[in-house]
Amino acid sequence: DPGFDPEFGSSVALHGTTAMVGAQQATVNGNEAQGAVYVFQQSNDGVWHPTQKIVSNDGQAFDTFGNAVVFEGNTAFIGAYGSMINGNFSQGAVYVFTLTDGTWIQTQKITAADGGMFDNFGYSIGLSGTTAIIGADGATVGNNGAQGTAYVFDGSSGTWTQTQKLLASDGGASDIFGYSIAFDGTQLLIGAYMFNTGQGAVYAFDNSGGTWAQTQKLVAGDAATNTYFGYATALS
């Protein structure tokens, strides 16, 4: 059901023989760009077959549900950075789905406790165990528009709860910190590709005693304007 301009493949996640593919511009029940995520399963003959189409329970036009997808075990996080929350355009939300009897079921909707208009919460997501990191690259910090931030959520109790808000130590306006996230256990990388007129930077955070703290700032040795270092990040 490709519909009109669904942007199938705008995000992709893969674990074993299960894949999730985002289509953030998909029209759902007449709602343009509400977005959807398609689940594929690889059979024994190596062929991938569609098994489910995931949509949010309260989806609206221009939510861009599926712009970011991560899943691990029986838990999936799906971003919808365009979601309107309490009248705030593009404040953003993230939906949690749990695999139950072979079907992914929505179990929670996450928003930032201090979210605001055009924060883009859910633009990027990292998930490892019972910890999730969610980027809000458009967030205003102090008087700095689009400085960006990232939020930490803990799901050890069975319900995902916000526990920390992460900022760059030297963040400035339009850095877009949180545009990309790479997360593995106790190490975290967060991209801010517009730092210093687009030269870009990536901030490293470590978890010690349950608290995330910035430990390093990475920049390219040959950085130049509009090179966008940190536009994408990966960590293993």
pLDDT, tens digit, 9 for 90 and up, residues 24-69: 999 999 999 999 999 999 999 999 999 999 999 999 999 999 999 9
Position 122 confidence tier, pLDDT thresholds 50, 70, 90: very high
| Backbone phi, psi, residue 182, to 5° | -130, 130
For position 131, what pLDDT does the model report?
97
For position 87, what pLDDT does the model report?
97
Signed CA dihedral, 77, 151, 91, 111: sign only = positive
pLDDT, tens digit, 9 for 90 and up, residues 153-189: 999 999 999 999 999 999 999 999 999 999 999 999 9
CA distance 114 to 135: 13
For position 20, what pLDDT does the model report?
98
Measuring CA to CA, how many Å separate 31 from each of 65, 80, 112, 191, 230?
A: 12, 14, 24, 32, 33
Q: Are strands 211-218 and 161-166 parallel, antiparallel or unpaired?
A: unpaired
The residue assigned the tokens 């179990």 is: 107
* β partners of residue 39: 20, 52
Cβ contact 58:78 at 8 Å: no
1 vs 124: which has the higher pLDDT: 124
| Backbone phi, psi, residue 196, to 5° | 55, 65
CA distance 182 to 126: 6
Question: Residue 53: left (phi > 0), alpha (psi -120 to 50), or beta?
Answer: beta
Q: Is the pLDDT of residue 3 over 90?
A: no
